[in-house]
Each structure stands twice: as structure tokens, then as C-alpha cells.
Amino acid sequence: MPESKSRKKPAKAARAPREPRAETGNPRWLVPTMLTLMLLGLAWIVLFYLSGSRQLPIPALEYWNLAVGFALIIAGFVLTTRWK
């Protein structure tokens, strides 16, 4: 019985080897800024709850002080996505 010709795949074009990227790591400001934002947001919310009727840190904002505190915490968490 005759043998079939083997199927050869077409030769692929040779690619130039990629140069490995140097890992730069984190910027020096990233971790301190991230932690500062999260802790400042936490302190803002705790101060708001502990101040009672005075509604510190900014009395004019009233319950929007919670939004400010959570915005600071969220900004800190957004920076964690850049952490390597």
C-alpha cells in the first residue's frame, strides 16, 4: 500500500526576540500616599461619628462628611491597583 506524503506546515517567519523590560517597581510616593489616603479617610469617618451633633470635621457638610471619608478610602484603594 502506498504511503501518503507527510503534510508539512509552512515555515513560520522568524521573529526578533523581545527584549525583557526592566521592572521598575513602585514609585517612591505610591505606598505612602495610598496608606495616607486610606487612614485619613478612616480618621475622617471616625471623627464624624465620634463628634455627635457637632458633625466635625466640617460641620457645613453634615452627612456629606461620610462621602468625603469614603472618597478618600476609595482613592487609596484605587492606588493599590498600581502596586507591583
Q: For the segment 14-70, what is each residue's pLDDT rounded down to a tens digit?
A: 777 778 777 788 999 999 999 999 999 999 999 999 998 888 999 999 999 999 999
Q: Which residue has the higher pLDDT, 6 or 39?
A: 39
pLDDT given for residue 33 in this prediction:
97
pLDDT given for residue 36 in this prediction:
98
Q: Are 24 and 82 in contact (CB under 8 A)?
A: no
pLDDT given for residue 10 in this prediction:
66
Sign of CA dihedral 65, 68, 74, 79: negative
Domain boundaries along the sequence of the chain? 30-80
Sign of CA dihedral 71, 72, 73, 76: positive
Q: Give the whole-angstrom CA distance, residue 31 versus residue 40.
A: 14
Q: Give the whole-angstrom CA distance, residue 34 versus residue 26.
A: 12
